[in-house]
Chain A
Amino acid sequence: MADPGERAREEFFTEAQEIVEAFSRNLLSLDATLKAGGDDPSLVNEAFRAVHTLKGLAGLFGASKMGMLSHRLEDVLDALRLGRMHLSPQVLDTLFSAVDVYAQILVAEKEGSEAPLAAVDDLCAVLDALGSGGVPAGQLGSSYELDPGLLAVLTEYEEHRLRANIEHGLALYRLRVQFDLATIDRALEEIKERAKRHGEIITYLPTGESASPDTIELDLLMASRDDLATLIGTLGADHVVIEAVPRRRRPSLAAGTLHPPPPGGGTLVSLAPPAPGAEALVEEEPAPAEHAASLKSVTQTVRVDIKKLDHLMNIVGELSIVRGVLSRLSERVRADGQRQLSAEILRVHRNFDRRLGELRDAILEVRMVPLGQVFDRLARVVRQISRDVGKEIRLVITGAETEIDKLIVEELSDPLMHMIRNAIDHGIESAEVRERAGKPPAGTIALNAYQKGNHVMIEIEDDGGGIDEEALLEKAVAFGRIARAEAHDLSRQELLGLIFTPGVSTRDEPGDFSGRGVGMDVVKTNLGKIGGVIDVHSERGIGTKMTITLPITLAIVNALLVRVAGQVFAIAVSSVSEAIVFDPRKLKRIDGREVISLRGKTLPICRLDAVLALASEGPSEGRRYVVVTSLGARRLGLVVDAVLGQEDIVIKALGASFDDIRCLSGATELGDQRVGLVLDPAALLEEVLASAETAALGAALGG
């Protein structure tokens, strides 16, 4: 059992991580609205709150670096929300870099390192330099017939919002709303939410009037782009009266107002910088409703450590074993001649079986998270890289809500990141080249995800120059990965597959951002570890599309159980195409490789007992089989003694001691207390190809 302190720390990391991710999402949305020429104050507010919360967390856990950074960020965000600083792309970049620095801080905290982080100090210096700028304050409310009583009670933030909206040319409206005292909190939130689509509610104030003792009347000041009719159409109701706030015909004259403007031409509120302690504003910000609610959590979610879910899955695995026992018991009772009892046990067995299936699916469902978690991070990378390489990139994401096992999501970010880098760096051409080719100057990268049966598909598509397969071939030949003579027989698709051979790149100079000594071969390997398969399609001049096929969950896999030299092994059915009887007479040797011919195509053969150095049980008298596994375009035949059948298995990772045994992807319980090993066909294939090369080399050298 972890001690409570440890648990709390764990919570702290999870929480901080989540907040940083939310903060990053916020910045992305801000970036998008900024590009669209808009301005969404609620996003700045959310970002401010996220950082504010992080500051509090850091204080609780003595994470001083995080505290220091959050404090500086908070100042800048505060200046932004109050309109004292303009949100320029440069400021936004600085905010974006904070996301990465936070990540570094969390890693350092996790390792318990006390050393100062240069990145933190650098960023703090930049934030300090941004200062809390000074934007000249415009005349407030001077162009509208606003009630000075109202102006007098605006907070600094509300004032800024009012000014910003007026500057953006939005019209002001007054909503006079009757609220039921019992439900005012909810009703007020609701109307704010609805108003969001049309603009924003700047402030609200009780009018002091009310229709009955248990109602209250509020005036809501709202800014909107829409006209009065639209607003009345969507927000109007019996208890909501909407009026447009008239513009002043002559700014200095308060014609037609019931309240004479105070001397000073309508600006009542001084716009001095806030007094120390302005942070308290955050506390004033949420409506009273939120205060009441904050004592009780409003969310219906629970955070669960994935290990607990693994544990549940293990229990399900053990229950499957019980299920097997029940079925055998029924058989035995039947053999004893007690048909009635046997049938009863069988009924129980069936019922149990069904419920167990439901339980398993329910647990799997809990493990699912939307891919959006990774896509958000990628969007940030795209933004960063496209600026660095000076290419304009439009990222279009679809299917971010597609769900996949949490463990798979964690493993996806690096390979996807690499592929996106490739797309920007190698795929999308420079603006000039694009113009000449008649393409729009901005390159598009589409990131699509969707579910297909028991798999999740992720596509990364760019409209760049496509892959130059000739260049790939040159590289592969230069690296000795393929003989030039062989290349004639390769289709374009097979040539494209060369991109996955180690050391091969389409660039002479590895780009600053991709390359980095890792190539698509590493991407492929890493995806393989989570059961993913990657395919590439590319048209010269039109673009490239990489498609990744992933299992929805790693926890449960439908597997083929086979026996080799007395041991049971499992192979994921998703990689098996067929099983045939092994006929040793059809065996041929090509380039030091054993192959058989299957429907006119050569199929390399792997004798598992030899490759895994299993004590063979002497020459096998009986029939043996070849299990044909296919991985993308390549196939491999695994020679086994027997095929035992299919089963849903719970795969468990082998301990770290087995890390370098690549041909095994895990282990599973077989039900009689025994453990079976799960084979990784992809790794076996690599191995067979590599060993054949060495054999061929040996033969060539007369070894």
Chain B
Amino acid sequence: MGPVREFLVLALGGDDYGVELTSIREILNPPPITPVPRANKAILGVCSVRGLLVTVLDLRRRLDLEPNSAPKRRRLLLTNGARDEVFGIIVDEVRQVVRLTESELELSSAVLGDDVADHVLGIGRPQSAQNVIILLDLSRVVALSPEEK
């Protein structure tokens, strides 16, 4: 048994995604979001969390997935971006935390389509579950390159 890494499992359009637990500052119910004109298409806008201005990113749009009409259990995951920016990532649902050992991790993105490959850390295959988990690299998810803006 090597070291164990903990991932937060998110539901997004029927697939399970995972983000490293250490990269998440907080999970909360989304406060009202103010749209920002001319922003990157993946950015929903800004909101305030206890006085902190947060850039809100829609994970579906970021991964080019179909928009979801009205998810009931939307959550906002806070994570730190570059240059002191705090991002809130909107996800459909937060499921659980899984602990993956090295043997359950497949750190490569070659298995996936190009669209998503940029943001993917690898694949998790927990022995306890049927599904594979697509592991996202949050630091790359929140790094919006200028040409995408």
**Chain A residues packing against B (C-beta within 8 Å):** 311, 314-315, 317-318, 567, 612-614, 652-658, 660-661, 663-664, 667, 669, 672-677
Q: Give 1 or 0 for each of B18-46: 1 = CB within 8 Å of chain A CB.
A: 00000000000001101111111001011
- A655 with B31: in contact, given A613-B38, A660-B146, A675-B47 (CB under 8 Å)? no
B51→A318 contact, CB < 8 A? yes
A672 to B36, CA, bound (A): 18
User: Do A660 and B85 have beta carbons less than 8 Å apart?
Assistant: no
A-B CB proximity, top 7 nearest: A314-B51, A655-B85, A612-B37, A655-B55, A675-B34, A656-B83, A652-B53
Q: How far is the CB of A657 from chain B (nearest CB, A)?
A: 5
What 1/0 flags go to B48-63 for Cβ under 8 Å of A?
1011111100000000
Question: With A613-B37, A667-B46, A674-B34 as given contacts, are A657 and B51 in contact (CB-CB < 8 Å)?
Answer: no
Instruction: With A654-B53, A675-B46 as known contacts, state yes or no: A661 contacts B85, CB within 8 Å.
Output: no
Interface residues of B in 75-127 (CB under 8 A from A): 81-87
Q: Contact: A614 with B36, CB < 8 Å? A: no
Most buried by B among A317, A653, A655: A655
- The contact sample of 15 A-B pairs, CB cut-off 8 A, is A311-B51, A317-B51, A567-B34, A567-B35, A612-B37, A654-B53, A655-B81, A656-B84, A657-B43, A657-B81, A660-B146, A663-B37, A664-B36, A672-B32, A674-B48
Contacts of B149 in A (CB 8 A): 657, 660
Task: Let me know if B32 and A667 touch, CB within 8 A.
Answer: no
Q: Which residues of B contact A663 (CB under 8 A)?
A: 37-38
Tell me, in angstroms, the Cα distance from A661 to B35 when the chains sit together. 13
B44 to chain A, nearest CB (A): 11
The reply to whether A612 and B46 contact each other, CB–CB distance below 8 Å, is: no
Instruction: State the CA gap A664–B81 with chains docked (Å).
Output: 21
Which of A318, A656, A657, A676 has the most CB atoms of chain B within a 10 A radius of its CB? A657
Whether B55 pairs with A658 at a CB distance below 8 angstroms is: yes
Interface of B is mostly: loop
Kindly report which residue of chain A lies nearest to residue B55, judged by CB atoms: A655
- B144 at interface by CB-CB < 8 Å: yes
- Residue in chain A with minimal CB distance to B37: A612
Check if B36 sits within 8 Å of A654, measured CB to CB.
yes
Asked whether A657 and B39 contact (CB < 8 A) given A667-B46, A673-B32, the answer is: yes
CB pair A676 B34 closer than 8 Å: yes
Whether A667 pairs with B53 at a CB distance below 8 angstroms is yes
- Chain B minimum-CB-distance residue to A609: B37
Q: Are A315 and B146 in contact (CB under 8 A)?
A: no
Q: A658-B36, A675-B32 are in contact. List 12 more A-B contacts (CB 8 A).
A: A653-B53, A654-B53, A655-B53, A655-B54, A656-B83, A656-B84, A657-B55, A664-B37, A667-B48, A669-B51, A673-B31, A675-B45
User: Given A664-B36, A673-B32: A655 and B86 within 8 A (CB)?
Assistant: yes
A660 vs B148: C-alpha distance when bound (angstroms):
12
Bound form: Cα–Cα A86–B111 in Å: 73
What's the Cα separation between A667 and B36 when bound, in Å? 10
Q: Name the CB-closest residue of B to A317.
A: B51
Residues of A contacting B43 with CB < 8 Å? 657
Closest chain A residue, CB of each to CB of B38? A661
**Which residues of B have CB within 8 Å of A567?**
34-35
Nearest Cβ on chain A to B146's Cβ, whole angstroms: 7
CB contact under 8 A between A661 and B36, given known A675-B47, A675-B53: yes
**A142, B11: Cα distance in complex, Å:** 93
Distance in angstroms between the alpha carbons of A604 and B83 in the assembled complex? 37
- Cα(A677)–Cα(B48), bound, Å: 12
**Quick one: which of B34, B81, B144, B149 has the most chain A CB within 10 A?**
B34
Residue of B nearest to A661 (CB): B38
Q: Given A655-B55, A657-B144, A669–B48 Cβ distance below 8 Å?
A: yes
Chain B nearest Cβ from A329, distance in angstroms? 21
Q: Are B48 and A673 in contact (CB under 8 A)?
A: yes
Is there an interface contact between B40 and A657, defined as CB atoms closer than 8 Å?
yes
Q: How far is the CB of A312 from chain B (nearest CB, A)?
A: 10
Known: A317-B51, A656-B82. A667 touches B37 (CB 8 A): no
Nearest to A568 among chain B residues (CB) is B34
Could you tell me the distance between the alpha carbons of A661 and B37 in the complex, rounded to whole angstroms? 8
What is the CA–CA distance of A318 and B50 in the complex, to the nearest angstrom? 8
Which of chain A's residues has its CB closest to B54's CB?
A: A655
| Assembly CA distance A297 to B53 (angstroms) | 38
In the assembled complex, the CB of B149 is this many whole angstroms from the nearest CB of chain A, namely 6
Which residues in A have their C-beta under 8 angstroms from that of B48? Answer: 667, 669, 673-675
Give A673 to B87 CA distance when docked, in angstroms: 17
A684 to chain B minimum Cβ distance, whole angstroms, is 12
- Contact partner of A674 (CB less than 8 A), chosen from B32, B40, B54, B144, is B32
Q: Smallest Cβ distance from B33 to chain A, in angstroms?
A: 8
Q: How far is the CA of A324 from the CA of B45 in the complex (A)?
A: 25
Q: How far is the CB of A149 from chain B (nearest CB, A)?
A: 65
Residue in A closest to B87 when the chains form the complex, CB atoms: A655
Contact (Cβ within 8 A) B34 A315: no
A653–B53 Cα distance when bound, in Å, is: 8
Q: B146 contacts A667, CB within 8 Å? A: no
With A and B bound together, what is the CA distance between A676 and B146 in angstroms? 25
- A676 CA / B81 CA spacing, docked (Å): 22
Contacting residues, chain B, for A613 (C-beta < 8 A):
37-38
For A307, the closest partner residue in chain B by CB is B84
Q: How far is the CA of A677 from the CA of B53 in the complex (A)?
A: 11
Q: Are B86 and A667 in contact (CB under 8 A)?
A: no
CA distance A652 to B34 in the complex (A): 14
Complex Cα–Cα for A311 and B50 (A): 10
Residues of chain B lying within 8 A (CB to CB) of residue A318: 50-51
Closest-CB distance, B96 to chain A (whole angstroms) = 27
Q: Tell me the bound Cα distance from A612 to B46 in angstroms.
A: 16
Chain B: minimal CB distance from A335 (Å) = 26
Contact A657/B85 with A318-B51, A667-B46, A675-B48 known, Cβ cut-off 8 Å? yes
Provide the bound-state CA to CA distance between A657 and B83, in Å.
Answer: 10
- On chain B, the residues within 8 Å of A317 by CB distance are 51
Q: Which residues of A contact B144 (CB under 8 A)?
A: 657
Cβ contacts under 8 Å, B51 to chain A: 311, 314-315, 317-318, 669
Q: Which residue of chain A lies nearest to B35 when distances are taken between CB atoms in the complex?
A: A567
Query: Assuming the A-B contacts A567-B34, A656-B82, A673-B31, are A661 and B53 also in contact, with contact meaning beta carbons closer than 8 angstroms in the complex?
Result: no
Q: Which residues of B contact A664 (CB under 8 A)?
A: 36-37
A228 to B50, CA, bound (A): 69
Give the residue among A660, A661, A667, A675 with the most B Cβ atoms within 10 A. Answer: A675
In chain B, what residue has the closest Cβ to A666? B53
Q: Are A677 and B40 in contact, with the CB atoms below 8 A?
A: no
Q: What residues of chain A lie closer than 8 Å to B38, measured between beta carbons?
A: 612-613, 661, 663
Bound CA–CA A481/B144 (angstroms) = 34
Inter-chain contacts of A655 with B (CB < 8 A): 46, 53-55, 81, 83-87
CB distance from B25 to the nearest CB of A (A): 12
* Cα separation A677 to B47 with both chains bound (whole Å): 11
Known: A656-B85, A657-B85, A660-B146. A677 touches B32 (CB 8 A): no
Docked CA distance A674–B144 (Å): 25
Residues of A within 8 A of B83 (CB): 655-656
Identify the closest chain A residue to B31 (Cβ): A673
Chain A hits for B36, CB < 8 A: 654, 658, 661, 664, 677
Chain A residues in 8 Å Cβ range of B85: 655-657
Select from chain A the residue with minimum beta-carbon distance to B40. A657
Tell me the bound Cα distance from A674 to B32 in angstroms.
6
Instruction: Please indicate the chain B residues that have their CB under 8 angstroms from the CB of A658 in the complex.
Output: 36, 39, 55
**C-alpha gap A677/B50 in the complex (Å):** 17
State in angstroms the CA–CA spacing of A677 and B37 once bound together: 10
In the assembled complex, the CB of A648 is this many whole angstroms from the nearest CB of chain B, namely 16
